[in-house]
A and B are shown apart, each in its own frame.
Chain A
Amino acid sequence: MPLGLLHWLDRLARNLTPLTLSFLLVIYSATPLRIPEFGPVAPNIGLIATCYWGIYRPDLFPATAAFAVGLWQDVLVGTPLGMNALLLLAIHWFILSQRPFFKGKSFAVVWWAFALVATSTAALLWLISMAYYGRLLNPTPAAFQGIMTVALYPFLTWVFARTQHAVLRQV
């Protein structure tokens, strides 16, 4: 029985890896780096996590996970509660509906597709923010954040892929 319990716990921990890793990366992304003008355009970690796990392990990263990561970002970053959650839910839905396209494609193609997703996300974030604050906003920071996110994608993908290889091979 203890062995069974250990096995169960081990499996649970492995299953929760994508979510835990995303949570930790979001915390890290909010810590001060003190680079001039970096803060507002810091890459959107939640978006990369949702896309990666949505494409490769949707069974371990359901819509609830996307919602949770988004809410976590809202809490830590100070954006209106629910805004990133809504955004990541939409992205998650889109990624899952386009999964057949992503399947078996080379990294370059997936990256290119991600660039399109990140651009749409930036536009969506800008629109939702304007609706929320009820005034016109300058879209430049959102655009720059999109570019930074696309630039960070290969690196984070590498981290996620290593994790997936190390922890989730048998799960």
Chain B
Amino acid sequence: MKYRAGSVLRLAAPFRALTQRSAFLFLILAAIGLMILGKAETLLIERVRSGIVDVVAPIMDVLSRPAAKVNAIVDEMRHLTELRSENQRLHLQNGQLLQWQEAARKLSAENATLRNFFNIVPDSRVQFTSARVISDSVGVFARSVLIKAGEHHGVTTGQAVITGQGLAGRILSVGDSSARALLITDLNSRIPAIIEESRERAIVAGDNSGQPRLTFIGRDNQVELGNRVVTSGHGGAFPPGLPVGVVSEIIGDIIRIQPYVRFNQLEFVQVADFSGVIQAQDMPSDPESGIP
């Protein structure tokens, strides 16, 4: 019996080493296979990924709350110390804004008259879903966040993710109750845009840095520092006019913009479904639909 056990062990040792080695090789091949599959079958892989994230999303949601709370307290303290100067600044700004309000009222009235005149269908078919951001963008070479809203809440792939400041990104993949948003700073993000002042078209192309580049813009462009960049509406994913950022750097041919959205302060975002707006352009005009 002893002899047999010994011989089995002697036989088993190299066999075990072999299976261990082949298991390791198998895992390596599986990892590489997954990467290749991820490139070829993006939809399938994203579907699986979303399914898993859905399960963990409630945990991440709970975990993200204390961090948000601590952040709020720190912010509060900082604001308290700056109260006086802030007050002065706001007084000044209020005066300016009142003037703008006056101008906006006039323009709004004029706009309403002109819309009536041309029978334009109003862009009021936008559906918003608000969602908490439950993960930071912690990939070294990826810029995306998870949000706590999914298919159940009407979120679908390609919708715009916005904040009060401007465009943050678009929905990349959707699970039942969570979704991943690709930020405009990500390497794979391309947003058709237009320079508000000169009306020149360009693409806002993320490169993982904090300041995306403006590409596909003519060499003899008239872009200047401080120009506003908004979505152009080309390609049909976003409506025209969503604020993206301001031109912050021009070095030779390389133009960079500073996004309006502060990505490190994302706590809540809105997922906007503009499909109604985009479809509305194909629908017959209805003079009775009213002006917003």
CB distance from B145 to the nearest CB of A (A): 8
CB distance from A86 to the nearest CB of B (A): 4
Decide: A27 and B35 in contact? CB cutoff 8 A. Answer: no
Contacts of A110 in B (CB 8 A): none
Q: Which single member of A34, A63, A78 contacts B180 (CB below 8 Å)?
A: A78
Decide: A31 and B134 in contact? CB cutoff 8 A. Answer: yes
Binds B, one of A5-13, A14-22, A101-109, A129-137: A129-137
Decide: A82 and B33 in contact? CB cutoff 8 A. Answer: yes
Decide: B142 and A63 in contact? CB cutoff 8 A. Answer: no
Identify which of residues 144-173 in chain B touch chain A, using a CB-to-CB cut-off of 8 Å: 144-146
Cα–Cα distance between A145 and B137 once the two chains are bound (Å): 13
CB distance from A143 to the nearest CB of B (A): 10
Binds A, one of B58-66, B110-118, B231-239, B244-252: B58-66
Q: Which single member of A63, A125, A133 contacts B23 (CB below 8 Å)?
A: A63
Decide: A29 and B138 in contact? CB cutoff 8 A. Answer: yes
Cα–Cα distance between A30 and B56 once the two chains are bound (Å): 11
Cα–Cα distance between A41 and B136 once the two chains are bound (Å): 11
CB distance from B37 to the nearest CB of A (A): 8
Flag whether A142 is at the interface (Cβ < 8 A).
Answer: yes
Decide: A82 and B63 in contact? CB cutoff 8 A. Answer: no
Flag whether B88 is at the interface (Cβ < 8 A).
Answer: no
Decide: A82 and B34 in contact? CB cutoff 8 A. Answer: yes
CB distance from A156 to the nearest CB of B (A): 16
Decide: B136 and A42 in contact? CB cutoff 8 A. Answer: yes
Cα–Cα distance between A155 and B3 once the two chains are bound (Å): 50
Decide: A82 and B38 in contact? CB cutoff 8 A. Answer: yes
Per-position 1/0 for A32-76, Cβ under 8 A of B: 111111111110000000000000000000011001001100011
Q: Which single member of B35, B144, B264 contacts A83 (CB below 8 Å)?
A: B35
Flag whether A81 is at the interface (Cβ < 8 A).
Answer: yes
Decide: B67 and A32 in contact? CB cutoff 8 A. Answer: yes
Contacts of B32 in A (CB 8 A): 82, 86
Known contacts A31-B60, A34-B265, A133-B187; A39/B24 CB under 8 A: no
Decide: B31 and A38 in contact? CB cutoff 8 A. Answer: no
A interface majority secondary structure: helix
Number of interface residues of B (CB under 8 A): 50
Contacts of A82 in B (CB 8 A): 30-35, 37-38
Flag whether B135 is at the interface (Cβ < 8 A).
Answer: yes
Q: Which single member of B56, B133, B145, B264 contacts A36 (CB below 8 Å)?
A: B264
Flag whether B141 is at the interface (Cβ < 8 A).
Answer: yes
Decide: B67 and A77 in contact? CB cutoff 8 A. Answer: no
Contacts of A81 in B (CB 8 A): 34-35, 37-38, 45, 49
Decide: B31 and A40 in contact? CB cutoff 8 A. Answer: no
Known contacts A34-B68, A141-B140; A85/B34 CB under 8 A: yes
Decide: A30 and B208 in contact? CB cutoff 8 A. Answer: no
Flag whether A80 is at the interface (Cβ < 8 A).
Answer: yes
Q: Which single member of A42, A63, A71, A129 contacts B138 (CB below 8 Å)?
A: A42
Residue of B nearest to A88 (CB): B31
Identify which of residues 77-117 in chain A touch chain B, using a CB-to-CB cut-off of 8 Å: 77-83, 85-86, 89, 93
Flag whether B27 is at the interface (Cβ < 8 A).
Answer: yes
Cα–Cα distance between A142 and B136 once the two chains are bound (Å): 17
Q: Which single member of A39, A64, A129, A137 contacts B137 (CB below 8 Å)?
A: A39
List 27 A–B pairs whose Cβ atoms lie within 8 Å, in order of A's numbering: A31-B64, A31-B67, A32-B64, A32-B133, A32-B266, A34-B68, A34-B264, A37-B210, A38-B264, A39-B143, A39-B263, A40-B137, A40-B208, A42-B138, A64-B23, A76-B146, A77-B139, A78-B139, A81-B34, A81-B38, A82-B30, A83-B31, A85-B31, A86-B31, A89-B24, A133-B141, A137-B208
* Sample of 17 more A-B contacts, CB < 8 Å, known A32-B133, A75-B52, A138-B208: A30-B60, A30-B135, A31-B60, A31-B134, A32-B135, A32-B145, A32-B267, A33-B67, A33-B136, A77-B135, A78-B142, A79-B140, A81-B37, A82-B30, A82-B35, A125-B140, A137-B141
